[in-house]
Amino acid sequence: MNKQSPSNTSFQSRREQILQLIQQQGECSIDALASTFDVSGMTIRRDLQDMVNDGQVIRTHGGATLAPKVSFEFRFLERVHQQSKEKEEIALQAVSLIRPGQTVLLDSSTTTLVIARKLISIPDVTVVTTSLPIASELYGQPGITVMLLGGVLRSDSPDLTGALTENCLEQICADIAFIGADAIDLSGHVYNINPEIGRMLKKMAASASRVYAVADHTKIGTHALMRFARITDWLGLITDSGVNRKAASQLRRAGVNLITPSSNKSSPN
């Protein structure tokens, strides 16, 4: 580990850095942390005990590891920041398809979270979602009504699923839906790694008049556990400018309406 400077780093700053180091390494020893921050082992022990009291870490023999809740938060933030430029490109294209007064259905992917952040520019929009981060992002925004679907909170992701979620979706008729994917093969099939989520997303697609898949180029040409839809049954796939030319050509030959920043096929209808 590299030593931090200055040696009198404030507790709050040191605690944030300790969390980052533990997140990166899985577990850190007291001796290593003391050396990194140029403080005594007793100081690190006091830091860690305060962090234990706040529910941030769990003490191990001679060190500490992240508490499950904090580890979960780090994993989610890491997903949010992956391919951030590509998600911005996708979100701009998606938002151009939405009109004032419409009902928008968003799944719980990190790509649709970026779309949600851009919806504040459109007045009188109703957003229906299973995502707690999306509901939190849009809470209190003027001109936006948020409908959070019921269901069971997943243990590994901040969103809702289950029979109640699916029953709620059967009552919904949205104008447009944006659905993320864990993978999209070159025949245009859409995949999710979780069969239960895949089944729920299939119902979500059936609950909207217009449906678009949203996925960055790293998801294209790959497979996952459950194939739950085919993009040719929807209006298209919105992706970023990094999509491989050969893959794009193959998707179009398969009948997929591929919408990229250079495409002219994203008319709102």
- Burial pattern 97-133, b for ≥16 Cβ within 10 A else e, equals bbeeebbbbbbbbbbbbbbbbebeebeebebbbbbbb
Which of 1.10.10.10, 3.40.50.2300, 3.40.50.1360, 3.10.20.600 would CATH assign to domain 83-259? 3.40.50.1360
The three-class DSSP label of residue 29 is strand
Domain boundaries, the chain: 11-75, 83-259
The pLDDT-based confidence of 72 (bands split at 50, 70, 90) is low
Q: Report which of residues 102 and 51 the model is more confident about.
A: 102
**Contact predicate 25/61, CB 8 Å:** no
Q: Please give the single-letter amino acid code of residue 45.
A: R
User: H-helix or E-strand containing 75?
Assistant: helix 68-81
Amino acid letter for position 233: D
Non-local (6+) Cβ contacts of 13 within 8 A are none
Of 187, 183, 188, 235, residue with least CA distance to 211? 235
What number does CATH give the domain 11-75?
Answer: 1.10.10.10
Structure tokens at 5: 């400077």
Residues in the chain: 269
Structure tokens at 29: 């020893």
Which phi-psi region, left, alpha or beta, contains residue 38 (left: φ > 0; alpha: ψ -120 to 50)?
A: left
SS3 98: coil
Residues 111-136 pLDDT 10s: 999 999 999 989 999 999 999 889 98
Nearest C-alpha neighbor of 174 from the set 120, 126, 132: 126
pLDDT, tens digit, 9 for 90 and up, residues 38-51:
899 999 988 888 88
pLDDT at site 195? 94
Q: What is the end-to-end Cα distance of the chain in Å, rounded?
A: 56
The predicted structure's pLDDT at residue 165 = 95
Query: Is residue 77 over pLDDT 60?
Result: no
